[in-house]
């Protein structure tokens, strides 16, 4: 081949590649709504929150400045009278344990849908399983209050049937918070885990059976390891949402609900009361920033774990 011929090929190739649809102005137009949406509803408020954390309040007047005073105050009181530290620990504790229950419950439901329900009924079963997703979250939390309260549905029923000794005493504890969280998270987690399970090749499961595995061994040695990534994703999702949730903690946990850690409010509940007292908005912003950072930490950790699990279970 001559030099000239080789050059022509090189000359033509990039020119032909430059005008792919990816480089057309259409791409920018198509992406614009997403950018506007993302910017207006996520980036701008987040930056405003971060910025507001550095403002100061003097004589009931907000001063736009750059000061670390709010953070210094919070740090000084972290384990003292305001118990911010304990609230953060309570948040981690409730979110992680609630997340574990939620993932376990959702995994059981997803397993049942994928492996126990006949193929043609699977989509319908999934639809039923995630039906609560379409009802209002606030309504659901109030409904749980009615169910779990001292003279609520469960306890009234137990009283009627003479099973009074078994009465539930969970309302306004963090247990009730977790129940609310599990119900809130379940539909999303079921979808994540359903997709994970349907992606496991049926032939691989049959191969394990053919090689002599009992059903339990198939679950333990095949399905569970191959669900690893999905379980990590679902778990981190549950923990992050659980950390940011204030409604269950307020309405079911009663603000400062009892847990192993004690009658300590969730960090998000504390934020709300801090905001409600409304004397120092910049300090609330600083507290919120701390929660955002804690969530980022969880996100980073779960990403790291997820990558390891994915690498260990992918081909």
Asked if 313 contacts 222 with a C-beta cutoff of 8 angstroms, the reply is no
Binding mask 150-189 for another protein (x = CB under 8 A): ----------------------------------------
Q: Which of residues 19-38 bind another protein (CB under 8 A)?
A: none
Binding mask 227-266 for another protein (x = CB under 8 A): -x--------------------------------------
- Work out whether 118 is an interface residue with another protein (CB under 8 A): no
CB of 62 to another protein, least distance (A): 56
- Work out whether 315 is an interface residue with another protein (CB under 8 A): yes
Q: Beta strand pairing status for 61-63 and 56-58?
A: antiparallel
| Nearest to another protein of 81, 311 (CB atom) | 311
87 vs 9: CA distance, rounded Å: 66
Burial class (CB in 10 A: 0-12, 13-18, 19+), 5: exposed
CB of 198 to another protein, least distance (A): 15
213 vs 205: CA distance, rounded Å: 9
| Nearest to another protein of 180, 306 (CB atom) | 306
Binding mask 196-225 for another protein (x = CB under 8 A): -----x-xx-xxxxxxxxx--x---xx--x
Q: In whole angstroms, how far apart are CA 299 and each of 127, 267, 292?
A: 29, 18, 10
- Work out whether 5 is an interface residue with another protein (CB under 8 A): no
- Work out whether 313 is an interface residue with another protein (CB under 8 A): yes
CB of 103 to another protein, least distance (A): 20
- Work out whether 120 is an interface residue with another protein (CB under 8 A): no
| Nearest to another protein of 190, 226 (CB atom) | 226
CB of 115 to another protein, least distance (A): 15
H or E, element range at 158: helix 153-160
Those residues with Cβ within 8 angstroms of residue 94's Cβ, 6 or more apart along the chain or in another chain: 174, 177, 178, 181, 242, 249, 253, 259, 266
Asked if 76 contacts 253 with a C-beta cutoff of 8 angstroms, the reply is no
Give the orientation angle of helix 228-244 with respect to helix 267-277, to 10 degrees: 30
Q: Which residues bind another protein (CB under 8 A)?
A: 201, 203-204, 206-214, 217, 221-222, 225-226, 228, 312-315
């Amino acid at each position: 081949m001559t030099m000239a011929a080789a050059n022509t090929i090189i000359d033509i190739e990039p020119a032909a590649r430059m005008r792919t649809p990816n480089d057309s102005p259409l791409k920018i137009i198509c992406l614009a709504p997403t950018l506007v949406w993302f910017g207006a509803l996520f980036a701008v408020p987040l930056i405003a929150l971060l910025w507001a954390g550095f403002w100061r309040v003097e004589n009931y007047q907000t001063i736009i400045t750059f000061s670390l005073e709010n953070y210094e105050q919070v740090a000084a009181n972290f384990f003292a009278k305001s118990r911010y530290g304990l609230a953060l620990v309570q948040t981690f504790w409730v979110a992680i344990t609630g997340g574990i229950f939620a993932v376990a419950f959702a995994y059981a439901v997803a397993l049942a849908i994928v492996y126990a329900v006949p193929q043609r009924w699977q989509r319908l079963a999934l639809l039923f399983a995630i039906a609560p997703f379409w009802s209002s979250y606030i309504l659901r939390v109030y409904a749980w209050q009615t169910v779990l309260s001292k003279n609520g549905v469960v306890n009234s029923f137990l009283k009627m049937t003479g099973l009074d000794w078994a009465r539930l005493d969970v309302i306004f504890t963090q247990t009730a918070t977790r129940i609310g969280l599990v119900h809130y998270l379940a539909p999303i987690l079921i979808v994540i885990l359903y997709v994970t399970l349907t992606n496991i090749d049926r032939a691989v499961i049959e191969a394990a059976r053919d090689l002599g595995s009992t059903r339990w061994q198939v679950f333990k040695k095949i399905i569970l390891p191959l669900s690893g990534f999905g379980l990590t994703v679902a778990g981190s999702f549950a923990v992050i949402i659980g950390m940011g949730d204030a409604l269950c903690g307020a309405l079911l946990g009663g603000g400062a609900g009892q847990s192993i850690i004690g009658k300590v409010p969730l960090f998000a509940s504390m934020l709300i009361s801090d905001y409600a007292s409304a004397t120092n908005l910049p300090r609330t912003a600083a507290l919120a920033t701390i929660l955002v950072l804690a969530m980022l930490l969880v996100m980073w950790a779960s990403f790291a774990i997820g990558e390891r699990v994915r690498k260990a279970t992918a081909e």
